[in-house]
C-alpha cells in the first residue's frame, strides 16, 4: 500500500523540478521563506504553526515539511498567522521531511 | 523600533505566562485568530508571551480549548498608569498648572545675554537696557527691540551696531564696537615747547624748533623752553615750526607720612549670618523667618546669584545679604610694624606717577609715643616738555 503523504511529497518535488527558477513560489506563500540577520535574528515566512518550542529549539510546520531553528535563548519576537521572527543566538537551521 | 515601543506603551501591553502541555497549540490558535503576540519566550518550563491590553480578553476561548493555564505576569503602558492615578485629581491639576505656568512664563524675558562687547562692560550695557525698560521679568510684547538697540547705540558711543533678539525667554544683545582711531598728530600746527612744571633742566633734546633754554638752567611752570618761531639766517625770514623736544628736569618734592601707633579698627567677629531673598521680578521675598538683625558695627556684603538647574537659568534669582558682626578695637602696633607700613605707603606714593623717577630721597624719621612720622625730601626727574600751540589769527571773542 502506498503512503499518500509520500505520494504528495513526490508530486511536490516533481512540480518544483519542472518549475522555472523564480521567487514566485515564495511570494505566493507556497514555499517557506527564511531570512537571516547574522546569528541573532531569523524571519520565517510561510509557516503553518509551531510544532515545538523550547529554549534551544523552535520547530515549525511549513508546506514542505518542518523547519527547525536551533540555538540558545530563542524567543519569538513576533508571531502572526503565517510568519514569525525568531530572536536569540541561532546556530542551526534545519529542514525536516 | 522606538516607534513600535511607543505605540505599544500608549496602547498598553499584558505579559502572561502559559502553562500546560499544549502551549504551542495555544500560540498557533491565537496567532491564527489575529491576536497579536510578541516577545514569546520559554523559561524554566513556562512560556511567557505579551499581547495588547485590548486583545487579552480574546484569548479566553483558546485557553479553554487547549487546556492551558494563563496567568497575568506584568502589565505595562499608559492605560494602566492612567488607571492607577485616575483618582488623583491634584496630580492632574498640578500638571495642568505647571503647563499653564510654563506657557505664561515663556512670554517674559528671564535672562539678558550680552555678546560682542569688549570696551563697554556687560554691566554698563545691562544698566542702560534696564533704564530703557528691558529688565528681567518684562513682558516680551511690551518691548521694542529696534528702539532699544537704537537707544543703546546712542547711549554708548563705542557701540557701532547693536541688535536685540528675543529668543524664547532670553534677550540676546549682540553688539559690535567701533574701532577708534586716535587723533592724528597735527604735525603742521606751529607750537612751542613749554615747561609743564618747574625744575632744573638736566638734559634737553630738541627734535624741532629753536632751543631757548640750556642744560642746567632752572625753569618755572609755563616758561618757554623750545620756540616754534625760527629765524632763518640765510634768507632772513621767520618760519613757524611744530617744535618738539624731550626736556628732562629735576625738581624737589616733600612728602610726610604719619602712622599712628594706636589705631581703632573694625575687627570682624565670628558668626556670619546670611539672609536670602528670592527675587521675582520687582518682588523681593525673604527666605528666612527670623528678623533681620541690624548690627551697629558690621560688615555687609550683598550679592545676587541667578538660579540655575543643570545650567538652565530659572526666571528668578536669589540675593544674599551677608552680615559679618564686627567690633571696634583699639590696636597697638610696634614701631617696627609702623615703619613697615610707612615704607609701604612711601613706595606706593613713588609709584603713583610712573613717568617720573626718583633721583634721590632723604628720609627723616620722628617717633613719638603716639605716632611715627616720615618726612621725605625727594628729588624727581621727569620729562617736563609740553607742547603749546602758537595762536595765530586768534580772535578775542568779539569777532575782531
> What structural domains and CATH numbers belong to chain A?
4-96 (2.60.40.2000)
Give the residue on A whose Cα is nearest the Cα of B48.
A75
Name which of A21-35, B31-45, B263-277 the model is least confident about. A21-35
Helix (H, G, I), strand (E, B) or coil at B336: helix
Mean pLDDT (chain B) is 86
Give the residue on B whose Cα is nearest the Cα of A74.
B41
pLDDT digits (tens, 9 = 90+) for B335-385: 888 889 889 999 999 888 888 899 998 988 888 878 888 899 999 999 999
**So what's the pLDDT on residue B397?**
45
Helix axes B145-155, B122-132, angle to 10 degrees: 130
Which candidate, A78, A55, A86, A46, places its Cα nearest to that of B37?
A78
Cβ distance A79 to B38 less than 8 Å, yes or no, reads yes
In a domain, B204, yes or no: yes
- Identify the residue among B1, B17, B23, B24 best suited for mutation to test binding to A, counting A beta carbons within 10 A and taking the highest: B24
**So what's the pLDDT on residue A4?**
58
**pLDDT-based confidence at B394, cuts 50/70/90?**
low
For chain B, which residues lie within 8 Å of any Cβ of chain A, measuring from their own Cβ? 23-24, 27-28, 31-32, 34, 36-43, 47, 49
Helix (H, G, I), strand (E, B) or coil at B214: coil
Residues B64 and B7 reside in one and the same domain = yes
Give the residue on A whose Cα is nearest the Cα of B21.
A52
Cβ distance B32 to A49 less than 8 Å, yes or no, reads yes
Whether pLDDT at B145 is above 50: yes
In a domain, B89, yes or no: no
Kindly state the cell numbers that stand for B51. Answer: 499581547
* Domain, as residue range, for B63: 2-83
**pLDDT-based confidence at B13, cuts 50/70/90?**
very high
Residues B150 and B198 reside in one and the same domain = no
Residues B172 and B202 reside in one and the same domain = no
pLDDT digits (tens, 9 = 90+) for A19-50: 544 555 555 656 788 999 999 999 999 888 89
- Which residues have a Cβ under 8 Å from the Cβ of B168 and sit 6 or more positions away? B106
Kindly state the cell numbers that stand for B34. Answer: 489575529
pLDDT digits (tens, 9 = 90+) for B157-199: 889 999 999 988 889 999 999 887 766 556 678 889 999 999 9
Helix (H, G, I), strand (E, B) or coil at B158: coil
pTM tops 0.95, yes or no: no
Q: Which run of H or E residues covers position B171?
A: strand B170-177
- Identify the residue among A76, A77, A81 best suited for mutation to test binding to B, counting B beta carbons within 10 A and taking the highest: A76
Instruction: Tell me: ipTM over 0.90.
Output: no
Give the mean model confidence (pLDDT) for residues B143-157.
91
Helix (H, G, I), strand (E, B) or coil at B21: coil
* Number of domains into which chain B is organized: 4
Cβ distance A54 to B42 less than 8 Å, yes or no, reads yes
- Which residues have a Cβ under 8 Å from the Cβ of B177 and sit 6 or more positions away? B116, B117, B118, B119, B120, B158, B159, B160
Give the residue on B whose Cα is nearest the Cα of A61.
B28
A49 interfacial to chain B (CB closer than 8 Å): yes
Calculate what percentage of chain B has a pLDDT beyond 90.
Answer: 36
Residues B202 and B235 reside in one and the same domain = yes
pLDDT digits (tens, 9 = 90+) for A51-72: 999 889 999 998 889 999 999 9
Q: Over the Cα atoms of chain A, what is R_g? A: 14
CB pairs under 8 A between A and B: 47
Amino acid at each position: 500500500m502506498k503512503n499518500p503523504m509520500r505520494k504528495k511529497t513526490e508530486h511536490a518535488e516533481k512540480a518544483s523540478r519542472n518549475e522555472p527558477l523564480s521567487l514566485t513560489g515564495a511570494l505566493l506563500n507556497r514555499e517557506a521563506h527564511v531570512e537571516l540577520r547574522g546569528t541573532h535574528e531569523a524571519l520565517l515566512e510561510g509557516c503553518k504553526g509551531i510544532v515545538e518550542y523550547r529554549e534551544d529549539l523552535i520547530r515549525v510546520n511549513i508546506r514542505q515539511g518542518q523547519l527547525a531553528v536551533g540555538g540558545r535563548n530563542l524567543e519569538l519576537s513576533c508571531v502572526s498567522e503565517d510568519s514569525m521572527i525568531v530572536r536569540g543566538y541561532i546556530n542551526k537551521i534545519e529542514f525536516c521531511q | 523600533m522606538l516607534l513600535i515601543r511607543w505605540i505599544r506603551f500608549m496602547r498598553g501591553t499584558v505579559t502572561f505566562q502559559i502553562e500546560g502541555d499544549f502551549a504551542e497549540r495555544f500560540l498557533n490558535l491565537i496567532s491564527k485568530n489575529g491576536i497579536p503576540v510578541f516577545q514569546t519566550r520559554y523559561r524554566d518550563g513556562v512560556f511567557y508571551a505579551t499581547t495588547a491590553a485590548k486583545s487579552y480578553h480574546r484569548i479566553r476561548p483558546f485557553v479553554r480549548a487547549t487546556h492551558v493555564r494563563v496567568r497575568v505576569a506584568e502589565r505595562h503602558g499608559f492605560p494602566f498608569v492612567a488607571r492607577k492615578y485616575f483618582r488623583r485629581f491634584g496630580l492632574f491639576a498640578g500638571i495642568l498648572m505647571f503647563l499653564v505656568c510654563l506657557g505664561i512664563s515663556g512670554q517674559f524675558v528671564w535672562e539678558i545675554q550680552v555678546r560682542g562687547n569688549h570696551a563697554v562692560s556687560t554691566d554698563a550695557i545691562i544698566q542702560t537696557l534696564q533704564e530703557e525698560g528691558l529688565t528681567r521679568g518684562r513682558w516680551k510684547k511690551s518691548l521694542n527691540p529696534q528702539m532699544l538697540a537704537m537707544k543703546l547705540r546712542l547711549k554708548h558711543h563705542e557701540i557701532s551696531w547693536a541688535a536685540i533678539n528675543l529668543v524664547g525667554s532670553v534677550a540676546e544683545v549682540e553688539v559690535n564696537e567701533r574701532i577708534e582711531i586716535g587723533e592724528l598728530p597735527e604735525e603742521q600746527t606751529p607750537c612751542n615747547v613749554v615747561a609743564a612744571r618747574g625744575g632744573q633742566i638736566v638734559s634737553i633734546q630738541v627734535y624741532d624748533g629753536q632751543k631757548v633754554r640750556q642744560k642746567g638752567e632752572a625753569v618755572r611752570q609755563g616758561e618757554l623752553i623750545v620756540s616754534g618761531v625760527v629765524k632763518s639766517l640765510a634768507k632772513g625770514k621767520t618760519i613757524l615750526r611744530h617744535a618738539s623736544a624731550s626736556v628732562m628736569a629735576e625738581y624737589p618734592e616733600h612728602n610726610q607720612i604719619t602712622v599712628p601707633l594706636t589705631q581703632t579698627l573694625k575687627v570682624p567677629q565670628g558668626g556670619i549670618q546670611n539672609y536670602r531673598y528670592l527675587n521675582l521680578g520687582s518682588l523681593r521675598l525673604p527666605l528666612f523667618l527670623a528678623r533681620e538683625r541690624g548690627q551697629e558695627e558690621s560688615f555687609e556684603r550683598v550679592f545676587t546669584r541667578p538660579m540655575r538647574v543643570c545650567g538652565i537659568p530659572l526666571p528668578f534669582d536669589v540675593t544674599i545679604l551677608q552680615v559679618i558682626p564686627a567690633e571696634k578695637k583699639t590696636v597697638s602696633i610696634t614701631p617696627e610694624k609702623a615703619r613697615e607700613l610707612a615704607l609701604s605707603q612711601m613706595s606706593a606714593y613713588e609709584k603713583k606717577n610712573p613717568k617720573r623717577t626718583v633721583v634721590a630721597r632723604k628720609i627723616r624719621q620722628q617717633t613719638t609715643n603716639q605716632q611715627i612720622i616720615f618726612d621725605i625730601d625727594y628729588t624727581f626727574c621727569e620729562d617736563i616738555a609740553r607742547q603749546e600751540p602758537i595762536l595765530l589769527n586768534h580772535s578775542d571773542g568779539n569777532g575782531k
